[in-house]
Amino acid sequence: MTSTMTADSGTDIFRFSDEIGPKKIVAIHDPSCDLKAIVVVDNVGAGPSIGGTRMASDVTLAECFRLARAMTLKNAAAGLAHGGGKSVIFADPAMDPATKETLIRSFARAVGDITDYIPGPDMGTDERAMAWIEDEIGRAVGLPRELGGIPLDEIGATGFGLAIAAEAVEEHAGIGLRGARVAVQGFGAVGHHAARFLAERGAVLVAASDSRGTLTSRDGLDITALQALKAAGRSLADAPFGTVADRDAIIAVECDIWIPAARPDVLNADNVAALNARLVLQGANIPATHEAEEYLHRAGVISVPDFIANAGGVICAAVEYHGGTQSQAFSAIEDKIRSNTSAVLERARADNVPPRAAAVALARERVLKAQSLRRFA
Ligand code: NAD
């Protein structure tokens, strides 16, 4: 059963509305497998929306909308022929694989008619889940290599983009990468590849965390060993080296580059003053509240916004969708993220505003321009 909410459901649903979206919010319920999900198609000005399908039990509609808007801005900033959307399946991603497949296939059939939404992988879903969706409706990105996909998490598309953003900051603001101390919150697909690509550029990973703890070492952590630990289903807190502290100790670690790569709003008014870094590269989506971004700006900490810094994944997905190759994806990520990061930092400096304000202005201009060329978008 799929229902598109209208004004009859109460005008409260329109509290997110502005001149660019959301175009539609769809609630999905399939009692046969207890599927409950929402899809937010925020904007389709430049083309059908692309955005991740998240599986989590604790995401609100407001959060889903913010994530969809972040995709609109990200896709526009990256100059892709796609708008932004997002979907959430309300469930625990740690369920048994057969139940997960049933749920995701049911979700796929329910979004089959929402042709202006192209699902991609997100927290709690992966390439395999996208293969199931593709199998059901022939429309998904982030597919396994065997299905013609460019496995963006396996190749580290987003982590690569974060390293390119760091290079652009180096050119622009002089925060050098050689010897830079890096702390990564969330050593998953984004976090570990970011650490790896930055290490290739001479940076040193001095701290990393996951949902169970923070691991630190002033001399640098062995990224390959940590990756092997995570691949074996263990926590960084189980590492036989480094010093273990509690999960949120990562926030106050002394470093040059701090990378949130886990959950939303991890930097907020209550903890941002504890941050001890010169540059924040936003790997996670919406990892900092408005208050936190303002604080960082006043404190002279450069914070490269999520939809500029972490666009590598969606750029890769768009290259895949349009039939491109892995090397074309890497070169598109490099070109787009380098030039966008520079443009945003220059505009932020000229207007004396936080980088996010500059980035939003730049992306909104592109969305409005694309919309102006359409009859209904
Ligand atoms: P993932 O599931 O592979 O990794 C997440 C990691 O974060 C895990 O190691 C988990 O243990 C850890 N974690 C969870 N809660 C935590 C907490 N409170 N503190 C510290 N660590 C915690 O996910 P991912 O694909 O790496 O995505 C991470 C973030 O980046 C998400 O916000 C996602 O939306 C965003 N993102 C991902 C991509 C991508 O290409 N995968 C692209 C853009 C943005």
Q: What is the CATH number of domain 2-74+83-147?
A: 3.40.50.10860
Residue 225: what pLDDT?
97
User: What is the percentage of the chain residues whose pLDDT exceeds 70?
Assistant: 97
> Which atom of ligand 1 is the closest one to the Cα of 235?
11
> What tokens appear for 284 in the block?
């996670």
3-class secondary-structure state, position 264? coil
> Which atom of ligand 1 is the closest one to the Cα of 230?
9
Cα of 139 from ligand 1 centre, angstroms: 24
Of residues 40 and 11, which shows the higher confidence score? 40
Give the lowest-confidence range in 10-19, 105-114, 170-179, 230-239: 10-19
pTM of the model: 0.90
pLDDT per residue as tens digits for the range 154-210 = 899 999 999 999 999 999 888 999 999 999 999 999 999 999 999 999 999 999 999
pLDDT at 376 over 70: no
Q: Which residues are catalytic?
A: 86
Residue 185: what pLDDT?
98
Pairing label, strands 49-56, 24-30? unpaired
Cα of 188 from ligand 1 centre, angstroms: 5
Angstrom distances, CA of residue 82 to CA of 110, 156, 179, 239, 315: 21, 22, 38, 42, 10
List where CATH 3.40.50.720 sits in the chain: 157-365
Most informative mutation of 210, 214, 246 for ligand 1 (most atoms within 8 A of CB)? 210
Amino acid at 82: H
List where CATH 3.40.50.10860 sits in the chain: 2-74+83-147
pLDDT at 8 over 90: no
Residue 16: what pLDDT?
87
Residue 374: what pLDDT?
82
Of residues 14 and 274, which shows the higher confidence score? 274
Quick one: CATH architecture of 157-365? 3-Layer(aba) Sandwich (3.40)
- DSSP run (H or E) holding 321: helix 312-321
pLDDT at 42 over 60: yes
Query: Which amino acid residue places its CA nearest to atom 30 of ligand 1?
Result: 284
Indicate the angle between helix axes 326-351 and 157-173, nearest 10 degrees.
40
pLDDT at 375 over 60: yes
Q: Are 68 and 84 in contact (CB under 8 A)?
A: yes
Amino acid at 133: I
Coarse DSSP helix, strand, coil percentages of the chain, rounded to the nearest 5 percent: 45, 20, 35
Query: Which amino acid residue places its CA nearest to atom 35 of ligand 1?
Result: 284
Residues 312, 185: Cα–Cα separation, whole Å: 18
Give the residue from 43, 113, 30, 34 showing the smallest Cα distance to 72: 43
Mean pLDDT of 228-253: 97
Residues 13, 21: Cα–Cα separation, whole Å: 12
pLDDT at 76 over 70: yes
Give the residue from 87, 122, 70 showing the smallest Cα distance to 313: 122
pLDDT per residue as tens digits for the range 301-355 = 999 999 999 999 999 999 999 999 999 999 999 999 999 999 999 999 999 999 9
Residues 355, 374: Cα–Cα separation, whole Å: 29
pLDDT at 1 over 90: no
Residue 320: what pLDDT?
96
Give the residue from 134, 77, 136 showing the smallest Cα distance to 106: 136
Task: Give the CA radius of gyration of the chain.
Answer: 20
pLDDT at 150 over 70: yes
Angstrom distances, CA of residue 261 to CA of 37, 100, 171, 312: 24, 24, 23, 13
Q: Which residues line ligand 1 (CB under 6 A)?
A: 122-123, 152-153, 158, 185-191, 209-211, 247, 261-263, 283-285, 310, 313
Cα of 185 from ligand 1 centre, angstroms: 8
Sign of CA dihedral 136, 142, 144, 150: positive
pLDDT at 216 over 80: yes
3-class secondary-structure state, position 299? coil
Residues 357, 365: Cα–Cα separation, whole Å: 12
Residue 11: what pLDDT?
76
pLDDT at 290 over 70: yes
* pLDDT bucket at 286, cuts 50 / 70 / 90: confident
Cα of 374 from ligand 1 centre, angstroms: 35
Residue 153: what pLDDT?
86
DSSP 151-193: -HHHHTHHHHHHHHHHHHHHHHH----TT-EEEEE--SHHHHH
pLDDT at 2 over 70: no
Residue 9: what pLDDT?
60
Q: Is the peptide bond between 240 and the residue preceding it cis, with omega within 30 degrees of 0? A: no
* pLDDT bucket at 13, cuts 50 / 70 / 90: confident
Instruction: Locate all alpha helices (DSSP H) within 36-126, ordered by sequence.
Output: 61-77, 97-111
